[in-house]
Amino acid sequence: MNRNLTWLLMLLFILTVPGGAWADTPVQATLIGARAAAVDIQGHWAQQEIQTAIDRGMMVGTGLNSQGQCIFSPEAAVSRAQLAAVLTRAFNLDYGDLRFIKQPLASDYYWDVDNKAWYADALVMCAVNDIFVGDGEEFQPNRNVTRIEVAQAVKRCFEAKKIDVVMIMMMPVYNDMRGLTQEETNALVFVSNTGIMKGDGDNNFRPRQAVKRAELARILNRCTSMMSVDQTYNNKEYHLAIGQSFTLELPGNPTTGYSWMMDIGDKSLLRLDSEGFLPGSDTRLIGQGGTNWWKVTALQSGTTKLRLNYQRPWESVQPAQTYELTVIIK
């Protein structure tokens, strides 16, 4: 990058980002780009998880280093303000069927939140959907969020969006569950049985431990997978409301030369927001397959079809696989 441009970007970053708004802010998303490759995730255990969360638009970087490169700060703790922002993005939280006589403001719910704060709009959506538990009139936006708080917020997001989840019905047993409230226990059971969050190798859930940004990226990706449409929906219908999004996930292996070619149908009804490829669990294995994904948003009422062909672009033969999904928007 041109040296003068690098220093200009750094100067703009310093002058425009208010204190405390150091991660996942609209300013930084504009400066460094929501999909910029973060230099500090290279070789990190969650590198692919983090990049996928960035590609899906759920998380962004935390700033620029001295060389003007994007950083993600994977080992930094997640604040409550950051959690509000990423959950609003990941679940597309909105007003739903609620109607108001005036536009809701963050200050209507919490006295310690400025209506101009970078996370204020997202927090309103969380407040309207009752995502955070027992906050009263104080949100404490800069306080680090714990694993059990994330579990509770995630469970409430699924409930707010009325997302049905298939999971095993069993009571997980962790060494450190004692002392949890019934609400906390219910949340732990939900995230554990769905695989969204698990305990460690010593069978501890670590409910009071602060959540790091790398861990949150993995949690968000697992949430997205729970909400996704997969190959079992082939030749079926999928219903959603205007403004809602869904993720389509299909298996693939780009090393074979095959790739999925998508026809989104009526582009006035559906918008392709982002797409990517998530390798299998062992990224060291050359030639292994993985999951192709596409995030799509409904724009207006109507019916259209998503059609995909799995083929080599240079071959004129019939595709190896086809996929068709009828999308009905109400």
Number of domains the chain is built from: 2
Check: CB of residue 182 under 8 Å from CB of residue 152: no
3-state secondary structure of 169: coil
Check: CB of residue 247 under 8 Å from CB of residue 224: yes
pLDDT tens, the chain, 330 aa long? 454 444 444 444 333 333 333 455 443 433 334 456 799 999 999 999 999 999 999 999 999 999 999 999 999 999 999 999 999 999 989 988 888 989 999 999 999 999 999 999 999 999 999 999 876 789 999 999 999 999 999 999 999 998 888 777 789 999 999 999 999 999 999 999 999 999 999 999 999 999 999 999 999 999 998 888 989 999 999 988 888 888 999 999 999 999 999 999 999 999 999 899 988 765 555 567 899 999 999 999 999 999 999 999 999 889 999 999 999 998
Reading the block at residue 227, the tokens are 């909400």
3-state secondary structure of 209: coil
Whole-model pTM? 0.78
If you search the block for the tokens 């700060």, which residue do you land on?
73
Please check whether residues 299 and 320 belong to one and the same domain.
yes
In a domain, 221, yes or no: yes
Nearest to 49, CA basis, from 218, 274, 244: 218
**Domain stops at, among 169, 203, 225:** 225
3-state secondary structure of 16: helix
Cα–Cα distances (Å) from 152 to 4, 116, 252, 255, in that order, read 46, 27, 34, 40
- H-type alpha helices, 117-180: 120-128, 147-160
In a domain, 49, yes or no: yes
In a domain, 175, yes or no: no
Please check whether residues 249 and 265 belong to one and the same domain.
yes
Partner residues linked to 321 by β-bridges: 310
Reading the block at residue 21, the tokens are 């708004």
Q: Which domain holds residue 50?
A: 1-77+214-225
